[in-house]
Amino acid sequence: MTENEGAERLRDLTERYGKLDGADLLRPFLEREFPGQIALVSSFGAEAAVLLQMVSEIDRHLPVIFLDSGKLFGETLRYRDLLVTRLGLTDLRVIKPEAVAVAVGDPEGVLWDSDPDACCAIRKVQPLRRALAGFDAWISGRKRFHGALRSFLPVIELSGAKIKINPLARWSKVRIEEEFARHDLPRHPLEADGFLSIGCMPCTNRVVPGDDDPRAGRWAGREKTECGIHV
């Protein structure tokens, strides 16, 4: 799709499905609108299991794209494997940054400290662009209660020329917790240690007890709030 075609498609899809969320939104996109042309992008982070569970009930063969930046916690990699097995997901696609790009742009492996935006571009933004090249649409697990740039997140949006849906955009933290309990989903092992939003190891800190912002531990002390794949 061109961007103009994408904008027209977005208007049509929003008119038909914009009031839906959760599985009610996912199902028509997977089964009717973009069969074989849509993927879920998952961090396998603290709340990821809810959307993965939802997808597994509709189509466990849906491509699930996981960005392995090379800087992730070992706990995240093990949690990923646990959820994939538990939910019966059959098409996990582990995407890594190009070795040449890392060698040229981050030869010492510490670019995250001096220029986190450039680090994210090499390790996440560029790899995801390649991974999504063959798809017309993709799914994210972002939610409005995460605040900042996500506060007014639409359930359906345009990402370049691709349609992107956010089935949990309107969901509250309470509703997420209810889904964990209802399906007896395992928690990310780092949550119990105070990590409420979990990304790359150098740029993820524990959240101070009582902090209302679940993403306060990401890029703490910087103005940066997003890795760039959603911007």
**pLDDT exceeds 80 at position 117:** yes
The percent of residues above 90 in pLDDT, for the chain, comes to: 71
The whole-number pLDDT of residue 222 equals 79
What pLDDT is stored for residue 147 in this prediction? Answer: 65
Domains (range + CATH), the chain: 3-177 (3.40.50.620)
Q: Which pLDDT belongs to residue 217?
A: 63
CA angle 192, 194, 197 (to 5 degrees): 105
Q: What is the mean pLDDT of residues 148-172?
A: 90
- Tell me the catalytic residues: 227
State residue 154's pLDDT score. 93
In sequence order, what are the residues at sequence separation of 6 or more whose Cβ sits closer than 8 angstroms to the Cβ of residue 139?
26, 29, 38, 39, 40, 41, 51, 55, 164, 165, 166, 167
pLDDT score of 218? 73
71-108 pLDDT tens trace: 999 999 999 999 999 999 999 999 999 999 999 999 99
Reported as a single tens digit per residue, the pLDDT across 118-144 is: 999 999 999 999 999 999 999 999 989
pLDDT of residue 200: 92
